[in-house]
C-alpha cells in the first residue's frame, strides 16, 4: 500500500503538503492539500473563528489557531491570500492585521510563506481572474474530487493551496525565516 495516497506516482517523488490560508478577522479559512506533480489530494479544511472582543485577543486566537493547524497537519509550505484594498480603510486595516497574525503563525513555525492575489488564485483555479465565489467553490470541489462543496472560507483557502501547487509564484514570498538582512547587516 502506498502511504501517500497517490498510487504509483509516489515512486517518482515526495508529495508536498500545502497549507492555504484565507485570512479574515472574524473567520480565517484553512485548507490543506498534498501535491505530487500534477496530482492533488485533499487533506483537510476548516475555519478558525474569533469571538467578538478586543483586537489583541482576536489576533491571538488567529495566531494560535494557525499554529495548531500546523502542529496537527505538518505542512511543508504556506500559501496566503493577499489583502485587497477595500473602500473602507478601517476594514482594510483590520484585515491586514489578521493577515499579519496568520503569517506570523506560519513563520513562527519556520515555514516558508508565499502570497497570492485573489486574481492569481482565481486565474489558477477557475481560469478567470474575476470568477465568482461559487465558481471557485465548484472548481475546488471538482479538482479535489470532494463529495460536497466546501464552505466559502475553506474553499478560498483550498484554492490558494491549489494555486501554489500549480506553480503560480506569488509576489513578495517570504522564503526565508529567521534573521532578515538590510543593507548588509542582519536584523532580528
**Catalytic positions:** 22, 81, 153
Burial of 1 (0-12, 13-18, 19+ CB in 10 A): exposed
Q: In terms of DSSP bridges, do strands 16-22 and 39-49 run parallel, antiparallel, or are they unpaired?
A: unpaired
Distance of CA 59 to the CA centre of its chain: 17
Q: Provide the grid cell at 53.
A: 472582543
Distance CA 10, CA 2 (A): 8
Q: Which residue has the cell 472574524?
A: 26
What's the residue count for the chain?
188
DSSP class of 166: T
* Euclidean distance between CA atoms 185 and 175, whole angstroms: 18
Other CB atoms closer than 10 Å to residue 43's CB: what's the count?
Answer: 19
CB-CB contact of 100 with 82 (8 Å): no
Amino acid at each position: 500500500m502506498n502511504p501517500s495516497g497517490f498510487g504509483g506516482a509516489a515512486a517518482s517523488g515526495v508529495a508536498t503538503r500545502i497549507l492555504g490560508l484565507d485570512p479574515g478577522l472574524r473567520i480565517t479559512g484553512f485548507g490543506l492539500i498534498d501535491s505530487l506533480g500534477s496530482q492533488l489530494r485533499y487533506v483537510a479544511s476548516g475555519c478558525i473563528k474569533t469571538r467578538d472582543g478586543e483586537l489583541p485577543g482576536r489576533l491571538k486566537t488567529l495566531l494560535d489557531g494557525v499554529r495548531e493547524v500546523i502542529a496537527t497537519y505538518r505542512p511543508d509550505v504556506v500559501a496566503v491570500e493577499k489583502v485587497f484594498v477595500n473602500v473602507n480603510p478601517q476594514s482594510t486595516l483590520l484585515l491586514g492585521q489578521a493577515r499579519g497574525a496568520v503569517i506570523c503563525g506560519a513563520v513562527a513555525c519556520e515555514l516558508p510563506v508565499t502570497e497570492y492575489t485573489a486574481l492569481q488564485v482565481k486565474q489558477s483555479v477557475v481560469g478567470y481572474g474575476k470568477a465568482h465565489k461559487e465558481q471557485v467553490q465548484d472548481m475546488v470541489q471538482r479538482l479535489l474530487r470532494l463529495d460536497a462543496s466546501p464552505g466559502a472560507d475553506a474553499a478560498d483557502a483550498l484554492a490558494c493551496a491549489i494555486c501554489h501547487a500549480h506553480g503560480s509564484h506569488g509576489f513578495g514570498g517570504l522564503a526565508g525565516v529567521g534573521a532578515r538582512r538590510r543593507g548588509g547587516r542582519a536584523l532580528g
